Amino acid sequence: YRIAVLASGRGSNLQALIDAIAAGDLPVRIAGVFSDRPDAVALQRAEQAGIHTAALRPRDFANRLEFDAALFEHIGAVQPDLIVCAGYMRLLSEPVVEANRGRMVNIHPSLLPAFKGLRTHEQALSAGAPVHGASVHFVTPELDGGPVIAQARVPVLAGDDAATLGARVLEREHPLLVESLRLLAGGRIRLGDAGVELDGATL
């Protein structure tokens, strides 16, 4: 089971996958790591692990469609069974999303459908949410709006700021992503017509 990972920054979720695979806990192969930021730390982590990488700069392309077409040509070349957005911070255009329906997932730092978009920890704090967390979901054209596969919940504690809350969430993101990919790679989770199916039953 081959995965392609898209990442724009720090790459701690990518590292969690690399470590889980090395430990024998996740039966997948990372066929490539792809980025919109040639300086992303995620790329260094991939190279250190001997994983193929490619990075393209959005400003080298006329528009989002052309950038995505070029990026997904690189991705397609490694023939992934699944594309994993792990801290990929760029909007994806509809054609590449539609072309990969049910074959692309994202990890988002909130309990979707709450707090889509950016600065989710700030959003949760200003809303006074008692519980926050992270979600892994299938990617659809609606930003952070696709069917949820799995979630991890963390309490919001008195005195939390975005940094402390974000750190508590991130700690749970890593095992959440590993476990979600284990289910996907095992063929236990798929996107059906009516939504996410676990072992053939619609969730």
Give residues in contact with ligand GRF (CB under 6 A): 7, 9-13, 42, 86-87, 107-109, 134, 170, 173
Question: Taking the complex as a whole, how short is the minimal distance between the CB of residue 166 and ligand GRF, in angstroms?
Answer: 7
Could you give the CA distance from residue 153 to residue 138 in angstroms, rounded to a whole number? 19
CB atoms within 10 A of CB 157: 10
Question: Taking the complex as a whole, how short is the minimal distance between the CB of residue 3 and ligand GRF, in angstroms?
Answer: 14
Quick one: 80 or 109, whose CB is closer to ligand GRF?
109
Q: Assess whether 108 carries a catalytic annotation.
A: yes
Question: Taking the complex as a whole, how short is the minimal distance between the CB of residue 194 and ligand GRF, in angstroms?
Answer: 26
Quick one: 10 or 116, whose CB is closer to ligand GRF?
10
The single residue of 74, 108, 137, 174 carrying the catalytic annotation is: 108
DSSP run (H or E) holding 39: none
Q: Could you give the angle at which helices 162-185 and 120-127 cross, rounded to 10 degrees? A: 120
Single-letter residue type at 38: P
Residues 61, 70: contact at Cβ < 8 Å?
A: yes
Is 93 part of any known ligand binding site?
Answer: no
Is 125 part of any known ligand binding site?
Answer: no
Is 111 part of any known ligand binding site?
Answer: no
Radius of gyration of the chain (CA): 16
Quick one: 65 or 167, whose CB is closer to ligand GRF?
167
Quick one: 12 or 197, whose CB is closer to ligand GRF?
12
Could you give the CA distance from residue 73 to residue 38 in angstroms, rounded to a whole number? 17
Residues 80, 4: contact at Cβ < 8 Å?
A: yes
Is 100 part of any known ligand binding site?
Answer: no
DSSP run (H or E) holding 202: strand 201-202
Question: Taking the complex as a whole, how short is the minimal distance between the CB of residue 187 and ligand GRF, in angstroms?
Answer: 25
Is 63 part of any known ligand binding site?
Answer: no
List, in sequence order, the alpha helices (H) in 78-154: 94-99, 120-127
Give binding residues for (6R)-10-formyltetrahydrofolate as ranges.
Answer: 64, 89-92, 106
| Residues tagged active-site | 108
Q: Which residues are annotated as a binding site?
A: 11-13, 64, 89-92, 106
